[in-house]
Amino acid sequence: MSDVKMSTGSVQVDGCKAPLFYRQSEPASGEVKMSVLLLHGIRFSSENWLNIGTLEVLAKLACRAVAIDLPGLGQSKAAEAPAAVGELAPAAFLREVCERLSLAPAVVISPSLSGMYSLPFLHQHQDLVRAYVPVAPICTDKFTAEQYQSVKVPTLIVYGDQDVDLGNLSLTNLSNLANHKVVVMKGAGHPCYLDDPDTWHKALTDFLTAL
């Protein structure tokens, strides 16, 4: 672990009433090639990215990775969410997170629930998104095919083939994105990255290395 520096912190975002907790990893050498923002699903938190080693993998790729606990979840329970679960959050929410943490332009990794945050941000602030990695996110049906086609951000669509609901629905909608690749994880469910971290890390590493 000596080549990776891990830390935790908190960031205050307007309207959330309490700060958001985050975990951060970066190369110990200090040379950073890109920034990555990791979001999470409703039953999860930044701790999952630590436990399966994603934070470490990203730091070894010379990325600065920040995994936040979304408002009302994980160690950000006291923070107030800017929208109800399943509604689109204002794009300004993630913009502010990226600005306050000096992440932009960031690679945004967005599983499940976090689609309500990442999708508005992607559509309204393409210039702040270096790349997008949706993992069966919610809210994909709230945008039209035309809206997706106008997004040029490099995208890696990832889902588990056992995730018949959100996996298939999100794939159908996100396939309209102009610049995308798809990775289907065999035998994996909705949180496919937890079911098979090795395949997840290989797909992510290959995608980021090619950017």
190 is catalytic: yes
Q: What is the pLDDT of residues 96-129, one digit of tens each?
A: 999 999 999 999 999 999 999 999 999 999 999 9
Encode pLDDT of 6-55 as tens digits: 999 999 999 899 999 999 999 998 899 999 999 999 999 999 999 999 99
Among the options 190, 195, 196, 201, which is catalytic? 190
Catalytic option among 69, 163, 195, 196:
163
| Known catalytic membership, residue 45 | no
Contact predicate 188/161, CB 8 Å:
yes
Q: In what order do the strands lie in the sheet with 106-111?
A: 4-11, 20-27, 63-68, 34-38, 106-111, 129-135, 155-160, 180-185
C-alpha torsion 16→193→105→91, nearest 10: -40
Q: Name the active-site residue from 46, 112, 114, 118.
A: 112
Strands 20-27 and 63-68: antiparallel
Query: What residue ranges do the domains of the chain occupy?
Result: 4-210
Superfamily of domain 4-210: Alpha/Beta hydrolase fold, catalytic domain (3.40.50.1820)
Q: Whole-prediction pTM value?
A: 0.97
Exposed e or buried b for every residue in 98-120, given b needs 16+ CB within 10 A? Answer: beebebbbbbbbbbbbbbbbbbb
* Catalytic-residue membership of 112: yes
